[in-house]
Homo-oligomer: A and B are copies of this chain.
Amino acid sequence: MSYRHDTLALIPAGIDTYRQPIVYMREDCHLCRSEGFATHTRIEVEHAGKRVIATLNVVTGGGWLPPETAALSDTAWQALAPEPGALGRFSHPEPPASASAIRTKVYGGRLDADACRAIITDTMDRRLSDLDLAAFVTACAGDRLDEAETIALTLAMRDAGERLDWGQGPVLDKHCVGGLPGNRTTPIVVAIVAAAGHLVPKTSSRAITSPAGTADTMEVMAPVALTLGEMRRVVEAEGGCVVWGGGLDLSPADDMLIRIERPLDFDSEGQMVASVLSKKASAGSSHVLIDIPVGPTAKVRSQDAARALVRRLSAVAATLGQTLAIHQSDGSAPVGRGIGPALEAHDVLAVLRRTANAPSDLRERALDVAGAMLDLVGSDGRERAARLLDSGQAEAKFMAICAAQGGFTEPGKALQTQPVTANRAGKITAIDNRRIAKIAKLAGAPGRQASGVLLKTGLGETVEIGQPLFEIHAETKGELDWALAYAAGGDSPFRVEDLS
């Protein structure tokens, strides 16, 4: 027994706490007792000059944690990177500098530029706990950030990560506030805008709770996990790209805040604007189109809400030197036929290739958005977008972008497919998107690229008994069965009503 009072051997816990560093200590550990460490206590762990501040969870049983040992969650382990069994030194951390800034805001004060920088820096360094971040998000909810605070927060978030400078302009970009299922316009829009000769360095996200994100769909056709340098070479060669933003360190604090905002599900107009525009500023974009689907179940539910959002977006964009345009669209229905990465990629390629069965709703939306972007730097955008698509120039540009990102791959088909048929005749009056998405995920999407759901009919169409409503696509028999078992239980995702 060593009498060193503040050390324990470190081992990996193998637990992903989603970027919150956690340290697991035994309840009979001398450090827990002597330091008064209890669950939720913040503890600084130091090893070989590296430090991380972690939240304690006390291990009461199970025997997986040996005596005189502390286990670290994935994030904490990666931060210290010790040899397993190396000694870590434990202490009470000083409260982070930004805690008093958050406290000021919570008590009704205002955030100045220094306060915003301190909060974002400590967020990045993980000196703020998830509870601290929840307090910050709460204190900024609704319209509690004024315009000056929103600008200060946007600048702090932009400056916390890498920044791209393209050395020429204009640089076009787009963002959709609150996505719609299957609304995979981005690859088409980027191809059209790049074919028009503009720079459009687009970063996209992967799915979190949906069957596919834009990055997942694009990845079926070309590599998307590029470095900043690789992304730069693609854009310099072809004008545009569609890459995964998660690995690029552009406004990275945004991701840290989103993981707290999502479960709380508070809207903060100020934080939403800071999130969107700091990413665009970091990407070096000068002209930004914001697509705002408005509808009863969309993120923006009324014209009044849309107008307030547009006002604030415009004020912050002006400070950043960005030219902004707004495109309002119908947020009431899903788009296209496929749900799942490869199935959505087939829809995208069908539009670009102008095949007879290309989903027209996806085509029209892509042309609307591309047209609005082209109007940011010219006129007659919609007509030019249609010409670039119909002439095959957009298709050619898309293939060139895929080649530059590492090579085009034709999307595959799932080995296992099974139609789900109508058990009554009539008209389809509703489709439950949540159930459809769940079936696609049970079938394996987005982890298995070819898995998902292919809609065979649509809202307002008429079906006969036995006619396929949709197909389940899966890569393994097991996953097909998981999805079928769920689809067979409970209500059908399609509501079919008598024509009489």
Contacts and interface: CB of A to CB of B under 8 A. Distances in A.
Contact of A17 (B5, B35, B57): B57
A263 B18 contact: no
A189 to B, nearest CB: 26
Interface stretch (A61-69, A287-295, A341-349): A61-69
A185 B443 CA distance: 66
A483 B99 CA distance: 31
Contact of A36 (B107, B208, B486): B208
A103 B15 contact: no
Nearest to A64: B64
Interface in A1-48: 1, 3-5, 12-18, 24, 27, 30, 33-36, 38-42
A130 interface: yes
B18 A141 contact: no
Interface string A56-79: 011111111000000000100000
A210 interface: yes
A27 to B, nearest CB: 7
Interface stretch (A110-118, A132-140, A245-253, A312-320): A132-140
A191 to B, nearest CB: 29
A482 interface: yes
Most B CB within 10 A of own CB, among A99, A138, A139: A138
A444 B33 contact: yes
Interface in A119-167: 129-132, 134-135, 137-139, 141-142, 144
Nearest to A448: B33
A481 interface: yes
A264 B42 CA distance: 11
A267 to B, nearest CB: 9
B209 A13 contact: no
A103 B266 contact: yes
A381 B442 CA distance: 73
A297 B81 CA distance: 39
A217 to B, nearest CB: 16
B266 A12 contact: no
18 contacts: A5-B482, A5-B486, A14-B59, A14-B61, A14-B64, A15-B24, A15-B57, A15-B60, A16-B60, A18-B58, A34-B482, A40-B263, A42-B263, A60-B74, A61-B74, A107-B141, A129-B263, A134-B138
A-B complex: 3 closest residue pairs judged by Cβ atoms: A14-B62, A18-B39, A14-B61
Given A18-B58, A34-B438, 12 more contacts: A15-B58, A16-B27, A35-B441, A36-B441, A40-B259, A42-B263, A103-B266, A107-B141, A129-B263, A130-B131, A131-B263, A134-B135
